[in-house]
Structure 1
């Protein structure tokens, strides 16, 4: 049985992850797009590890990450 997390735990983890990546991004003077790229990548990895999402959710995250990467490259 895959371990299911409660909504509060997921929300708390997302906020914690955003704060950690935000502090690192600010410290390294990274752009906002780069922050979202790192944050979404870590979020996808954590979802794969903890939540066992469906393939549609994974594909949606990958599309958003690739789209953000394209914006970063074009900028």
Structure 2
């Protein structure tokens, strides 16, 4: 059985940049549990969160936002 990570693009970028979720949380000001919940698909990211994370990872917001994922206002 294959398991997919809902926000795999963020996970891949974190690995490429050798960055932990905790570091991403510290830099963005988002809580570590919120980051983890978004990555695991338990919470939809807000537009603000997508933009903050994209800025830290130095990618366009569209590069990390799944096409079928709803973004909370």
Into which bin does the TM-score normalised by the smaller protein fall?
A: 0.3 to 0.5
Normalised TM-score (structure 1):
0.32
Q: Which has the higher helix share?
A: 1
Normalised TM-score (structure 2):
0.32
